[in-house]
């Protein structure tokens, strides 16, 4: 793929807005749709949601763990979700949060962002907590194939605070160090680079300096976890440039009725438009 991920993402957001719609087939959600919490229910839930959400958003984010929980049949459904999303014109950010070293990290990346397998996504989430340098195989392979990675930096779960806000010898937080490392990789890219960061929409304003990142920001915590569009603007700026607001449960709870699901994703997407 010759075109860089950062450019493809910017074009998709310009056309469809900055909403990242999650496909999270939690057993409780599957049952709330009146479906059995088994592989057949997973398939009907995930594909039904994808058909609606992928037609309305720039990017969808399947949570791999909920598919993996069903074994091989679940992985087969995930492959169909990726295929369905692409057919509807959406990019796919596969939420796998892989993090390892050396050839093992390379193998994870080969599975998801290199080549053209049924699980190949446009981007994946990765964990830097074996050191940002351990992600080099993933970053290099993704960029060489026109794809991207989103690196966990400052996540919204309460347990992350002690680690991610710990101070490095240079006086910066661990999270800021991750953002700065991503910024180095993205330097000079236009409209922005292929290495994004994950920054929770519920963190405190001013915790991070994102001014030099030159890459996309995935902001979980929007919707069901409490963050509003106004909260996002306070944290990231009014135009939400480069920010992908991630919402899943707050949209998916409106299924299985297609009209209800479509109205919910459109309403959520439109709430992110610049004020005025």
**Would you call 31 helix, strand, or coil by DSSP?**
helix
Q: Residue 97 catalytic? A: yes
Kindly provide the b/e burial profile for residues 195-212, where b requires at least 16 CB atoms within 10 angstroms of the residue's own CB.
Answer: bbbbbbbbbeeebbebee
Six-digit token string for 165: 């806000």
Q: How far apart are CA 92 and CA 156, in angstroms?
A: 22
Alpha carbon distance 78, 69 (integer Å): 11
Classified as helix, coil or strand, 152 is strand
Name the active-site residue from 4, 7, 61, 97: 97
Measured in degrees and rounded to the nearest 5, phi and psi for residue 139 equal -65, -45
Is residue 147 within 8 A of residue 113, CB to CB? The reply is yes
**Tally of CB atoms within 10 A around 224:** 15
With CA atoms as reference, report the closest residue to 92 among 69, 127, 67, 128: 67
- Other Cβ atoms within 10 Å of 188 Cβ, number: 6
CA distance 218 to 59: 11
Which residues are the active-site residues? 97
């Amino acid at each position: 793929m010759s075109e860089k991920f950062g450019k493809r993402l910017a074009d998709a957001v310009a056309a469809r807005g900055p909403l990242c719609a999650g496909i999270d087939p939690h057993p409780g959600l599957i049952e709330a749709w009146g479906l059995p919490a088994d592989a057949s229910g997973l398939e009907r839930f995930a594909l039904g949601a994808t058909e609606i959400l992928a037609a309305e958003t720039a990017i969808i984010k399947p949570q791999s763990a909920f598919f993996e929980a069903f074994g091989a049949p679940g992985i087969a459904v995930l492959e169909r979700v990726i295929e369905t999303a692409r057919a509807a014109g959406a990019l796919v950010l596969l939420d796998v949060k892989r993090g390892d070293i050396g050839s093992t990290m390379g193998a994870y990346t080969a599975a998801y962002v290199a080549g053209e397998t049924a699980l190949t996504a446009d981007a994946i989430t990765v964990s830097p907590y074996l050191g940002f340098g351990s992600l080099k195989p993933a970053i290099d392979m993704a960029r060489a194939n026109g794809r991207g990675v989103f690196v966990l930096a400052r996540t919204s779960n309460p347990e992350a605070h002690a680690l991610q806000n710990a101070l490095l010898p240079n006086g910066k937080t661990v999270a800021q160090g991750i953002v700065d490392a991503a910024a180095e990789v993205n330097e000079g890219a236009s409209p922005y680079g292929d290495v994004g960061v994950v920054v929770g929409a519920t963190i405190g304003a001013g915790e991070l300096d994102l001014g030099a990142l030159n890459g996309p920001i995935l902001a979980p915590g929007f919707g069901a976890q409490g963050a509003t569009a106004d909260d996002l603007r306070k944290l990231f700026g009014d135009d939400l440039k480069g920010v992908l607001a991630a919402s899943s449960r707050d949209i998916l709870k409106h299924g299985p009725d297609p009209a209800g699901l479509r109205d919910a994703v459109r309403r959520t997407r439109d709430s992110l438009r610049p004020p005025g």
